[in-house]
Chain A
């Protein structure tokens, strides 16, 4: 049994200690906004925030979460920065297939909370999630828009 803080609520889950947070979110709690893409922290589709930091939840085992505050895409609009990011994503018409965009939005939210006025280098080093539709330029434009 693990008590997790997810989007401000405590959720009790009965899973093996090595279960990745990603699968706790998706299968145990039915929160499917966080996506499975690779399972080896390559693609970033599973990005969530833990104590404000962008983390690839496929590599976070449930027993390592402890008291960290987990935020997922489902609650992104409850946060002022997250809301700004979403509005920028819509304004810049970023998504195509959209599958990677939950992770991209969470990564951008983490970046802008810690660095409200990111440089191009800041964006490059924080926004490392894969996008097979090639929306990278639109993503960078949306991050700049959200920071403006």
Chain B
């Protein structure tokens, strides 16, 4: 193996850019840059009719923008966030309902339209980065309290009593002295006209009835009876259905269609279209459109023969990985501490290893779709799955050639997302829907077949890191180095606004570790991918924690230490992490590495820690091997997000993330060969099936630390715990993911 290249000295302790700060500022600037003019126009048009707060509302404060209390006692809540399985609709209902004093079960939660009121995530709006609850918890509590205060004042006026004589109970204002009461629904109109008192007092947490409780999710019945409506289920009057066939090589164009007239004569076909990088057929049903588009005989322009600046005719994922490994370019310092050079010079032992992870697809079960309707008044309606309404509104406006305030954006519930529904170059169907609606003069719904989705989904980047560690005579690590080469989605999509050359989404999980290894030097070298890369549940953590925590087990082995004991030693000054290690060992019935006999076969366990998205996790995996393949029996996860709103949803999210982590490390990979993705559907992109689902045991630890994320953090500890268990069982250290690419020794 090549030694690590030497880099020019960089300042020790160069600041690392936190993901939170970066996404906050960068995405904010992006949204401001494209969307603000439209907002300003709209705010002016609304004028003072909406009150002084309408021009520049402080996000998350204007009660009528969020709450509609209906005569029947139900509460419609316009959420800043989109529901896609993570349970945020229920969480919002709990937080607001707690302070408003309405049972969350009576909430109807919808994703709010674009608007400055909803920019509650560090001044911007998105559903991602596991930010939703932690970024808005305080605001949404206050919003509920402010609304309750308005209802109390309206009731006081109506009943001609002092406010202090009134109390509330689950949607009703009560005047105990006179035995009178008024339902919220009867007070709503009066209340909403009052000036909000933003200092309305909050409930003492010890009196909480909904926050912190495993409140039932408000959407499970609809989702168990087929009544939940996703983007793919929506229809509008007079709509055409469109199917597309994308260019076999991204970046190439349709240059001719040989049988257009024949296809136009197929049943139900309305029209045939050429789009950027695709052809489309509009028809009176999607199946007819799909059959027709697949019958088209299209001549496409040719991709470049070679090179890594485009997806060339000879592009392969193996070739890209080779390029990442071969890069000799000096890295930018992502983290530096102590004097790694001196530590390596004086080391008793030095070990090195290279780790690689493949491209991954989101593979959410709902294929992407979009409806666009151009209205007679020059406005545009779009219905589309998205995690960032204002950005999709701005880009829709650009595609349509109208101002953003002419675009009404509708954000239905998502049939899974995992990072899928940001804007990814040619990876979203809504621009096609807008172009086709303009071309046909009819509303158009574009739906991508599963095959088109696998061809155009943005991918978790293929990744590569080279590690080196110095050990002292006692076998303890004195220094660690990592050289990460590649590209991350923050750099790709928000890179122009990054203030350092280090892409945080490429190095998270390798930097800012809790271990007491005094000398550290982590670098990042950018090598751009020609393919469309994406955010994927837990982003850089999804592979980097697997790399780091696997390598740490290699360090333990090289130093003759048990991997659990080594972690305890390296965390002796980190009480939060030590506690999690103790908790997860306790949950698993005590730490043992194995191999040991269980249920007629040999098994072993691996342990891993991760610190993703402001939360902390400790994970133990138990595996066996049969016919060369790993089987995961149990995952024990101790999870500390600081504090929780709904422990049942948190447990479900951790289990869900654990399933995706298991799936990715065991099976998943998008392979390119000859410029083409080799996965077209679930038969060629295997995901976790029921028979491979481990038992997942989750223990929530509420340390009281600042609230961290929930949706993603359960994932990153799972792949390394499984990899470490496989190594313990077989002696094989799998360094190139997924595990399915390696035939494991029987055990």
Contact = CB atoms under 8 A, between A and B. Distances in A.
Given A32-B229, A101-B224, A132-B416, A40 B285 contact: no
B678 interface: no
B285 A93 contact: no
Interface residues of B, number: 63
Nearest to A16: B267
B683 interface: yes
B85 A96 contact: yes
Contact of A38 (B222, B232, B267, B682): B682
B163 interface: no
B367 A27 contact: no
Interface in B333-388: 363-367
Interface string A130-143: 11111111111000
Nearest to A18: B291
Nearest to B652: A96
Interface stretch (B195-203, B577-585, B656-664): B656-664
A100 interface: yes
Contacts of B86: 96
A114 to B, nearest CB: 19
Q: Which residue of A35, A38, A89, A140 has the most chain B CB atoms within 10 A of its CB atom?
A: A38
Given A97-B365, A130-B365, A76 B687 contact: no
Interface stretch (B153-161, B462-470, B539-547, B688-696): B688-696
A128 interface: yes
A33 B287 contact: no
A95 B217 CA distance: 9
Contacts of A97: 84-85, 364-366, 413-417
B225 A76 contact: yes
Given A98-B228, A130-B365, A134-B660, A38 B216 contact: no
B233 interface: yes
Contacts of A38: 450, 681-682
Interface in A92-132: 93-102, 105, 124, 127-128, 130-132
B551 interface: no
> Which of A16, A39, A97, A137 gathers most chain B CB within 10 Å?
A97
Secondary structure dominating the interface of A:
loop
A136 B216 contact: no
Interface residues of A, number: 54
B682 A42 contact: yes
A30 interface: yes
Given A37-B365, A137-B695, A95 B224 contact: yes
Contact of A43 (B220, B365, B660): B365
Contact of A93 (B220, B229, B695): B220
A93 B648 contact: yes
B227 interface: yes
A54 to B, nearest CB: 14
A81 interface: no
B548 interface: no
A94 B224 CA distance: 8
B223 interface: yes
28 contacts: A16-B267, A23-B285, A35-B366, A37-B366, A37-B367, A39-B449, A42-B681, A42-B683, A72-B226, A90-B220, A90-B221, A95-B85, A95-B220, A95-B223, A97-B414, A97-B415, A98-B219, A98-B222, A98-B223, A100-B365, A102-B225, A105-B225, A130-B682, A132-B363, A132-B364, A132-B660, A133-B416, A134-B657
Q: What are the nearest 3 A-B pairs in CB distance?
A: A134-B659, A33-B226, A98-B223
Interface of B: 84-87, 216-217, 219-230, 232-233, 235, 241, 267, 285-288, 363-367, 413-418, 447, 449-451, 648, 652-653, 655-660, 663, 681-683, 687-691, 693, 695-696
Given A95-B219, A99-B364, 19 more contacts: A20-B287, A23-B286, A26-B233, A26-B286, A30-B235, A32-B226, A33-B225, A37-B367, A38-B682, A73-B225, A76-B226, A96-B653, A98-B223, A99-B230, A99-B416, A124-B691, A130-B365, A134-B658, A137-B693
